[in-house]
């Protein structure tokens, strides 16, 4: 009898993806957040990553984040849970330009993938010991980050909603992770020619909003990937709030990075047993039992009277 039980458990367990990258979630306690609740987002994200069968490590201390950068292993995927804040290690003080240059070098030369799901990434820096829990450096920091990555000029001022792409719908269905058909994307990104995203999960309708670079229009993308050297930048640009939905979208993006073949796979058949079906069957069973007991109770009552 043990073999069927083991087989059932194996079928119910999420398949662990073959991971070409080691995945880290950066949610350090010494830096603040913006447009997101860091801890709530990290918690929801952890749940969705586990559902997708993705192994990951959560970094909660600035010293560990600094150590990872200094060790500089190859093929690392980093998900930032701070929204518009980027934690800056102690060694840099307030010199965010040097920080971005080192981070960009890890992307270009070591094949790091940076995933920034929410807001205008690098709009603020944070380290309670050196620059404060959150420290706004605004436009110059964003420009410095893009220059460090050798990206063409960007326009992140969108203030619109974006629609899920066919790729997003397909991959989410395969994973069994529900994502919204539209998402607030106030900081969706348009990039000057000739840069085009490798792929995108959400796009702002071009009839609604486009960016203009020297009379060349470019659409705005949310949760889109750009190639940078050996690595990649995934710019989310999603609006604040609804951490669960944003975490689900982020998990879908990460799963696709780890396994691009997900786009060609078929969604699994719906499960025969779901919590909703169990509840419905239990309710029907209770009604049947109650109906069946009515004649018995009536007969017992008559027998007592007799």
For residues 154-171, give the mean pLDDT: 96
149-184: buried (b, 16+ CB within 10 Å) or exposed (e) per residue?
bebeebbbebebbbbbbebbebbbbbbebebbeebb
Q: Are residues 108 and 66 in the same domain?
A: yes
- pLDDT at position 31: 98
Domain count, the chain: 2
Sequence-distant (≥ 6) Cβ neighbours of residue 206 within 8 angstroms: 217, 219
Location of structure tokens 């007799």: 306
* H-assigned helices in 120-199: 138-148, 166-175
Judge whether residue 24 has pLDDT over 50.
Answer: yes
Q: Are residues 59 and 141 in the same domain?
A: yes
Q: Are residues 90 and 225 in the same domain?
A: yes
Judge whether residue 9 has pLDDT over 90.
Answer: no
Contact indicator for 200, 165 with CB cutoff of 8 Å: yes
The parent domain of residue 91 ranges over 2-264
Taking the CB of residue 115, how many other CB atoms lie within 10 A of it? 25
Q: Are residues 158 and 284 in the same domain?
A: no
Sequence-distant (≥ 6) Cβ neighbours of residue 137 within 8 angstroms: 96, 123, 124, 125
Judge whether residue 3 has pLDDT over 50.
Answer: no
- pLDDT at position 300: 67
Judge whether residue 4 has pLDDT over 70.
Answer: no
Give me 130's structure tokens.
Answer: 């050196």
Q: Are residues 250 and 287 in the same domain?
A: no
Judge whether residue 96 has pLDDT over 60.
Answer: yes
For residues 85-110, give the mean pLDDT: 97
Sequence-distant (≥ 6) Cβ neighbours of residue 78 within 8 angstroms: 24, 26, 112, 113, 114, 115
Q: Are residues 297 and 222 in the same domain?
A: no
Q: Are residues 56 and 117 in the same domain?
A: yes
For residues 183-190, give the mean pLDDT: 97
* H-assigned helices in 52-95: 62-71
Sequence-distant (≥ 6) Cβ neighbours of residue 174 within 8 angstroms: 262, 265, 266, 267, 268
Q: Are residues 130 and 275 in the same domain?
A: no
For residues 97-119, give the mean pLDDT: 97
Q: Are residues 130 and 260 in the same domain?
A: yes
Task: Return the C-alpha torsion angle 217, 257, 110, 39, nearest 10.
Answer: 90
Q: Are residues 101 and 145 in the same domain?
A: yes
Judge whether residue 303 has pLDDT over 80.
Answer: no
Judge whether residue 108 has pLDDT over 60.
Answer: yes
**pLDDT tens digits, residue range 174-185?**
999 999 999 999
| Residue 228 DSSP SS3 | strand
For residues 261-273, give the mean pLDDT: 80
Sequence-distant (≥ 6) Cβ neighbours of residue 296 within 8 angstroms: none
Mean pLDDT of the chain: 89
Q: Are residues 225 and 280 in the same domain?
A: no
**pLDDT tens digits, residue range 210-250?**
999 999 999 999 999 999 999 999 999 999 889 999 999 99
**pLDDT tens digits, residue range 114-161?**
999 999 999 999 999 999 999 988 888 888 999 999 999 999 999 999
Give the span between the Cα atoms of 147 and 97, in whole angstroms: 10
Q: Identify the weakest region by mean pLDDT among 5-19, 96-110, 118-132, 276-290.
A: 5-19
- Report CA-CA distances (Å) from 211 to 139, 141, 189, 214: 17, 21, 9, 10
Question: In the chain, how many H helices and how many E strands?
Answer: 8, 16
CA 179 to chain centre: 10
For residues 36-49, give the mean pLDDT: 98
For the entire predicted model, the pTM comes to 0.85
Q: Are residues 226 and 159 in the same domain?
A: yes
CATH of the domain at 118: 3.40.50
- pLDDT at position 8: 36
């Amino acid at each position: 009898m043990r073999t069927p039980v083991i087989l059932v458990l194996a079928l119910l367990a999420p398949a662990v993806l073959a991971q070409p990258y080691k995945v880290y979630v950066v949610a350090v306690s010494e830096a603040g957040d913006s447009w997101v609740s860091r801890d709530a987002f990290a918690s929801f994200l952890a749940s969705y990553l586990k559902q997708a069968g993705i192994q990951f490590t959560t970094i909660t201390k600035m010293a560990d984040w600094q150590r990872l950068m200094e060790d500089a292993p190859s093929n690392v995927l980093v998900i930032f849970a701070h929204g518009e804040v980027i934690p800056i290690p102690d060694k840099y003080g307030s010199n965010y330009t040097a920080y971005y240059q080192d981070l960009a070098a890890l992307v270009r030369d070591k094949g790091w993938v940076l995933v920034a799901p929410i807001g205008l990434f690098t709009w603020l820096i944070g380290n309670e010991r050196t620059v404060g829990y959150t420290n706004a450096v605004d436009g110059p920091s964003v420009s410095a980050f893009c220059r460090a990555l050798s990206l063409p000029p960007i326009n992140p001022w969108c203030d619109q909603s974006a629609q899920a792409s066919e790729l997003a719908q397909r991959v989410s269905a395969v994973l069994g992770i529900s994502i919204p058909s539209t998402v607030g994307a106030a900081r969706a990104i348009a990039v000057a020619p000739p840069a085009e995203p490798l792929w995108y999960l959400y796009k702002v309708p071009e009839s609604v909003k486009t960016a203009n670079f020297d009379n060349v229009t470019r659409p705005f993308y949310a949760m889109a990937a750009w190639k940078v050297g050996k690595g990649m930048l995934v710019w989310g640009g999603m609006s604040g709030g609804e951490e669960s939905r944003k975490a689900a979208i982020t998990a879908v993006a990460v799963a696709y990075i780890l396994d691009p073949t997900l786009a060609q796979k078929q969604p699994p058949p719906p499960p025969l047993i779901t919590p909703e079906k169990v509840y419905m069957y239990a309710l029907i069973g209770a009604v049947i039992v109650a109906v069946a007991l009515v004649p018995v109770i009536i007969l017992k009552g008559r027998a007592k009277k007799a």
